[in-house]
Amino acid sequence: MKELADYLIEAERNHGHMCPGQVLGVRMAMLGCRLIGIEEPKVGKRLIVFVEIDRCAADAINTVTGCRLGKRTLKFRDFGKLAATFLNTETQEAVRVVAVETSRELAKQQFSHLPTKKEQQLEAYKTFPDESLFTWQRVKVTLPDADKPGHPLARVECDECGEGINDHREIVRDERTLCRACAGERYYQPAK
């Protein structure tokens, strides 16, 4: 694994700016990978990461791990938490890492000589030990075959709109195969 400073440079380039969330995401990913025995996270598809927030830290986790939605190695679960679960698919070891709320106040206390909250947090998150930034626990993750990396296992057409649906994401209602949008789970509305 690279050094923290190297990942931070790469994360800033990837994300477009450096912020406390980037530092936490890099540190979280480094810790998560170490805890499940992955020293070179970007090699192969033995690492799957579930991120629970769609903010800066998610980009940093992607930077460190190389996990991506398109490779099916990055999974997004919208829990609104600065947390991620790291799964080693070879050993089935998994760990969930969560950023602790107390780190913000600790940053303010220990780096009060810095003028802004952002500067205080940036310095703190680069230097605090993992135990001051995160909690973690071993977890068990059951990954269905349809969620694993690789080619789609199945593909069907929606009986309503005709669009293709991969990997058993369809809903069967009244003997009709529907995509989630046509089944009422649409996040968009067609423009008039």
**63-87 pLDDT, tens digit each:** 999 999 999 999 999 999 999 999 9
The whole-number pLDDT of residue 44 equals 77
Helices (H), the chain: 4-15, 20-35, 56-65, 102-110, 117-127, 130-133
What band does 43 get if pLDDT is binned at 50, 70 and 90? confident
**Within-domain flag for 192:** no
Residue 139 sits in the same domain as residue 157: no
In terms of domains, do 52 and 130 share one? yes
Measure the CA–CA gap between 174 and 93, rounded to whole angstroms: 40
Determine the average pLDDT of the residues in 98-103. 96
Percentage of the residues of the chain whose pLDDT score is greater than 90? 95
- Is there a domain that residue 111 lies in? yes
| Average pLDDT over every residue of 134-154 | 94
Q: pLDDT at position 5, please?
A: 96
Q: Among all chains, which residue has been given the structure tokens 């069967």?
A: 172
Same domain flag for 138 and 158: no
The per-residue pLDDT for 45 is 80
Does residue 126 share a domain with residue 41?
yes
Tokens 């593909």 sit on residue: 155
Please tell me whether residues 32 and 52 are part of one structural domain.
yes
pLDDT band of 62, cuts 50, 70, 90: very high
Mean pLDDT computed over 151-165: 96
The answer to whether residues 95 and 65 belong to one domain is yes
Residues 129, 158: one domain? Answer: no
CA angle (30, 35, 37) in 5-degree steps: 95
* Count of domains forming the chain: 2
- Cβ burial of 106 (10 Å; 0-12, 13-18, 19+) is middle
Do residue 63 and residue 107 come from a single domain? yes
- 27: Cβ contacts below 8 Å, ≥ 6 apart: 4, 125, 130, 133, 134
| 139 and 46 together in one domain | yes
d(CA 129, CA 27): 10
User: How much is the pLDDT for 13?
Assistant: 96
51 occurs within a structural domain? yes
How high does pLDDT run on average in the chain?
96
In a domain, 43, yes or no: yes
The whole-angstrom separation of Cα 63 and Cα 41 is 10
Domain membership of residue 12 (yes or no) is: yes
The confidence score (pLDDT) of residue 159 equals: 98
Mean pLDDT of 39-59: 93
For 98, counting Cβ atoms within 10 Å of its Cβ (0-12 exposed, 13-18 middle, 19+ buried), the class is middle
Q: Tell whether 139 is covered by a domain.
A: yes
The CATH code of the domain that includes 92 is 3.30.1330.130
Rounded to two decimals, the pTM is: 0.91
Instruction: Yes or no: say if 135 and 79 are a contact pair by the CB < 8 Å rule.
Output: no
Assess whether pLDDT exceeds 90 at residue 190: no
As a whole number of angstroms, the distance between CA 94 and CA 139 comes to 5
Instruction: Please state the rounded mean pLDDT for residues 28-54.
Output: 95
Q: Clarify whether residues 113 and 37 are in a common domain.
A: yes
**Domain CATH for 155:** 3.30.60
> Three-class SS of residue 188?
coil
Range of the domain at 156: 151-185
Q: How many CA atoms lie within 13 A of 112 on its CB side?
A: 4
